């Protein structure tokens, strides 16, 4: 592809898109079915490259990526015809006879940048949405997951219509060259730093952008009346921190907020959950590379931070494994509490009362997700009404990502745009309003010359006062 030059490649894809082939339901369904076939025939190979790139076990790879994408494909195939159908829109009576609808049309040729931590899911979920909407797509996988990138490049061209779906491999320089071109939309998953670069480049062409970033996702844990609830909550907290890619996920719990009076009990339950599920390297995804390992290790080198470790903390630089680590009240100005951790280190911050967690969260950038483990309905309502985040999940963690009927995305520094299921289709579509009027009825007071009577008639139109409109038109009073 590179020998063609990216500009020539984009020109060819635009020409192919203009043929209108991607607009048909049959073309879109054929691509989705081809992806399903790819997953059926290549499941073992997919899990193998995920193991090679990020150290995921077969079960974790299937649960978090293969299964999620397969489910997305099946639900998209079931609902695609409904998504594509025009939406009827109600009109005010004064426009009679008229009708209106929203027609969904593809944006054109779109660019997708995926991330390394879920390199299959974060590549194919937006790709599926773009295909469902009838677009041509260029996918740029992350160079940090080279085996998966190679797999996608070798296989998508075999299973999908190669005129409309391309995979381009490479590092930051390739990404920069792609950003110089004019796309019809750019979808980016990654860090806020690179997200700003993408948005700056897109602004040159006024290209619309969706950026899925991250941030420090807090989990609020109140005292919980039942010992069983506390035990289940800590098991789910452990899964929300260490259960997916060893915390190397934008939706992973970044830190806990707990009450002082219940902190010791919750910590012991959390230690038990860690020992039960995440002891031993076979149950923990490794850190993706030496650079990220060193970054995470450096967070623990701060003396005050090191003092706060109450569990774990061991580092295996040979195998890039960091033991699940719990820290109690590290300094709030330390890097571990000011930057997204993106790894298996879990700070716990104690508060006098759990309601103080709302003020704590509001004082920081808006997170991608707020998790809260509580049965207190008043606290739940306050979290919903008094905080701002991409989403809120009560009494669990991470599971919301796998639900196609819920949109996924951030707000503020945690991201722009929502996708998953129907929301992915909408993200890559333009809803074009269509108004159809008849010549049968004409409204003379819409035209000059103006006078007081026409003003009164127009005023009643905007007030939806149709009785008054008729009386005024007839020269009558109420």
Decide: 433 and 100 in contact? Cβ < 8 Å. yes
Tokens of 178: 């792609």
Catalytic pick among 47, 250, 323, 413:
250
Angle subtended by helix axes 25-54 and 121-132, to nearest 10: 170
Rounded to whole angstroms, how far apart are CA atoms 40 and 279? 32
Rounded to whole angstroms, how far apart are CA atoms 32 and 260? 51
Determine the 3-state secondary structure of 146 from DSSP.
helix
Residue closest to 28 by CA, chosen among 123, 128, 131: 131
Decide: 432 and 412 in contact? Cβ < 8 Å. no
- The runs of H, that is alpha helices, within 55-145 are 58-61, 67-84, 121-132
Give the helix/strand (H/E) hosting 351: strand 345-351
Residue closest to 140 by CA, chosen among 292, 340, 2: 2
| Sheet of strand 98-106, all strands in order from the earlier edge strand to the far edge | 87-89, 98-106, 429-437
Residues 6+ apart with CB under 8 A from 411: 366, 388, 389, 390
Residue closest to 327 by CA, chosen among 241, 226, 399: 241
Tokens 């593809």 belong to which residue? 106
Rounded to whole angstroms, how far apart are CA atoms 111 and 182? 10
Determine the 3-state secondary structure of 311 from DSSP.
strand
Question: Is 250 an annotated catalytic residue?
Answer: yes
Rounded to whole angstroms, how far apart are CA atoms 404 and 399? 11
Q: Is the dihedral of CA 454, 455, 457, 458 positive or negative?
A: positive
Tokens 């293969």 belong to which residue? 66
Decide: 152 and 167 in contact? Cβ < 8 Å. yes
Question: Is 452 an annotated catalytic residue?
Answer: no
E strand intervals along 141-182: 165-167
Rounded to whole angstroms, how far apart are CA atoms 116 and 53? 8
Rounded to whole angstroms, how far apart are CA atoms 158 and 161? 8
Catalytic pick among 60, 125, 212, 340:
212
Determine the 3-state secondary structure of 168 from DSSP.
coil
Indicate which residues carry an active-site annotation: 212, 250
């Amino acid at each position: 592809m590179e020998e063609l030059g990216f500009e020539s490649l984009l020109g060819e894809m635009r020409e192919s898109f203009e043929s209108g082939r991607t607009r048909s339901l049959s073309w879109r369904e054929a691509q989705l079915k081809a992806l399903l076939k790819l997953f059926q025939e290549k499941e073992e190979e997919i899990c193998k490259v995920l193991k090679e790139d990020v150290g995921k076990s077969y079960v974790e790879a299937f649960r978090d990526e293969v299964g999620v994408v397969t489910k997305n494909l099946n639900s998209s195939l079931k609902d695609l015809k409904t998504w594509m159908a025009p939406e009827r829109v109600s009109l005010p009576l004064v426009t009679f006879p008229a009708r209106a609808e929203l027609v969904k049309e593809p944006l054109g040729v779109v660019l997708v940048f995926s991330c390394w931590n879920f390199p299959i899911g974060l590549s194919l979920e937006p790709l599926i949405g773009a295909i469902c909407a009838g677009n041509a797509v260029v996918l740029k996988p992350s160079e940090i997951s080279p085996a998966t990138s190679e797999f996608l490049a070798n296989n998508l061209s075999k299973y999908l219509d190669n005129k409309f779906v391309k995979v381009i491999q490479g590092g930051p320089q390739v990404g920069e060259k792609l950003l110089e071109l004019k796309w019809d939309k750019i979808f980016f998953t990654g860090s806020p730093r690179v997200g700003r670069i993408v948005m700056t480049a897109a602004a040159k062409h006024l290209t619309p952008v969706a950026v899925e970033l991250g941030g420090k996702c807090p989990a609020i844990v109140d005292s919980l009346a039942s010992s069983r609830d506390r035990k289940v909550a800590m098991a789910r907290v452990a899964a929300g921190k260490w259960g997916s890619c060893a915390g190397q996920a934008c939706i992973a719990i970044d830190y806990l907020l707990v009450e002082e009076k219940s902190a010791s009990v919750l910590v012991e339950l959390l230690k038990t959950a860690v020992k039960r599920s995440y002891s031993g390297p076979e149950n923990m995804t490794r850190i993706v590379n030496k650079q990220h390992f060193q970054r995470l290790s450096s967070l623990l080198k701060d003396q005050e931070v090191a003092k706060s470790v109450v569990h774990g903390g061991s580092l295996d630089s040979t195998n890039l494994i960091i033991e699940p680590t719990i820290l109690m009240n590290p300094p709030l100005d330390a890097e571990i509490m000011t930057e997204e951790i993106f790894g298996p280190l879990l700070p716990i911050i104690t508060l006098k009362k759990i309601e103080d967690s709302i003020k704590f969260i509001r004082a920081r950038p808006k997170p991608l997700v707020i998790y809260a483990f509580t049965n207190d309905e008043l606290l739940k309502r306050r979290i919903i009404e008094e905080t701002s985040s991409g989403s809120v999940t009560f009494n669990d963690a991470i599971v919301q990502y796998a639900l196609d009927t819920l949109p996924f995305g951030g707000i503020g520094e945690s991201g722009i745009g929502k996708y998953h299921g129907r929301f992915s289709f909408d993200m890559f579509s333009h809803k074009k309003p269509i108004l159809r009027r008849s010549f049968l009825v004409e409204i003379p007071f819409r035209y000059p010359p103006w006078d007081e009577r026409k003003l009164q008639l127009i005023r009643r139109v905007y007030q939806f006062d149709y009785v008054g409109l008729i009386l005024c038109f007839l020269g009558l009073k109420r």
